[in-house]
Amino acid sequence: MKDTREFNVIIYGASGFTGRLIAEYLTQHHGDSKELRWALAGRNKAKIAQMVAESGLPADTPIISADANDLEALTDMARRGSVVLSAVGPYQLYGSTLVEACVKTGTDYVDLCGEPTWMREMIDRHQGDAERSGARIVFSCGFDSIPSDLGVYYLQRVARERTGGTLSQVKGRVRGMRGFASGGTLASMQATMAAAARDPELQELLKNPFSLAPGFAGPPQPNSNKPTFDKELNSWAAPFVMAVINIPNVHRSNALLNHAYGRDFSYSEMVLTGPGEEGEARAKAMATPTLAAEGDKVKPGEGPSREEQEAGFYDLVFLGDSETGERIRVSVSGDRDPGYGSTSRMITESALALALDNIPTPGGIWTPAAAMGDKLIERLTEHAGLVFKTE
């Protein structure tokens, strides 16, 4: 039984920038929990011990040494925990062996992955084995893709409560954001694009909004890659860099929830740039992103100061019309920068939900909404500074 294992949660990649934030958050917000038993893990035990000392974490915090490519060491580690939280990316370079170890040992797993091609590979390779072992593998538990995934889930919940039905056409729009994706996310994107450049099949997978719902081909989807004027919101809208992972995750949630949003469900996701000529110019500029340049700004293992994290925020709106013509609109906002401050909280609460909340979800490869749904919304609202609101 997972609940009798030595640790509830093992933080893997604890010495990295995001891993450190996760460990600090867990200590500060859940350190007095009598039921929580947790450990730190990574390749370099001495580096983790140094982080513990510098961060003021309890000196007796257990530390486990395991290299990302050592299946035996990772398997031994996974057997000791109910949930492994992985903050080591790009996952296509460093994550496959750990997923294999967790599936093998029936250990739950959460990560910050925004790499749809690698995620599809893991689904194809491990879905059946995870179902058999009882391992609940949950990708994308950070800014990509919890606000979008749970935002659409929450919108559909409100629609059912109000109208008795769900919304077949939904759009998500980023209304405001301060802070950017983490260095690890940018490195993951760059690795994904580099892999796709070498493989035409991966290119097609990245273009497919249903790439994470194998066996299902839904209706044609709205174009989220072309600047457009949104009359309803009186603003120009530009392509959103995270849509390439958020849109497939939303569609995977729908598939895992037995198409609770409908088999004809469509979803678009963009970022608002404002009205008028100025908004149009911003939208067109954002349509040609400079990912390489952004990646030069923040490297994996680096990140903003605590003041910059606390000054950050994000605000997303989700809306659609019911069959009776009623417009339903909700928002999801966070009070920290999306790439680090809020992401470290979201993934921690995801791990704790699986470890402590008796969620009946069986083994398999899941999304946050399909695996944890209402319980995760409660945790994020209570502890992580997120607000889910009907407008």
Q: What is the pLDDT of residues 92-110, one digit of tens each?
A: 999 999 999 999 999 999 9
Is the pTM of the predicted complex or chain greater than 0.75? yes
pLDDT greater than 90 at residue 70: yes
- Looking only at the bridges linking them, the beta strands covering 38-42 and 7-12 are parallel
Domain formed by 2-142+342-384, architecture: 3-Layer(aba) Sandwich (3.40)
pLDDT greater than 80 at residue 67: yes
- How high is the mean pLDDT of the chain? 92
Tokens of 321: 């019309």
- pLDDT tens for 233-270 read 999 999 998 999 999 999 999 999 999 999 999 999 99
**All structural domains of the chain with their residue ranges:** 2-142+342-384, 146-338
Compute the CA torsion angle 323, 328, 331, 332 (nearest 10 deg): -40
* Residue 291 or 343, more confident: 343
Predicted pLDDT of residue 181: 58
Predicted pLDDT of residue 302: 67
Question: How many angstroms separate the CA atoms of 128 and 124, rounded?
Answer: 8
Predicted pLDDT of residue 293: 43
Predicted pLDDT of residue 117: 93
Compute the CA torsion angle 184, 64, 125, 247 (nearest 10 deg): -30
Residue 138 · residue 306 · CB < 8 Å: no
DSSP letter string, 150-177: HHHHHHHHHHHHHHSS--SEEEEEEEEE
- pLDDT tens for 280-335 read 999 999 887 554 444 445 566 667 777 888 889 999 999 999 988 899 999 999 99
pLDDT greater than 70 at residue 48: yes
Question: How many angstroms separate the CA atoms of 156 and 170, rounded?
Answer: 9
Can you tell me the mean pLDDT for 201-206?
77
Can you tell me the mean pLDDT for 139-155?
97
Compute the CA torsion angle 246, 252, 257, 260 (nearest 10 deg): 70
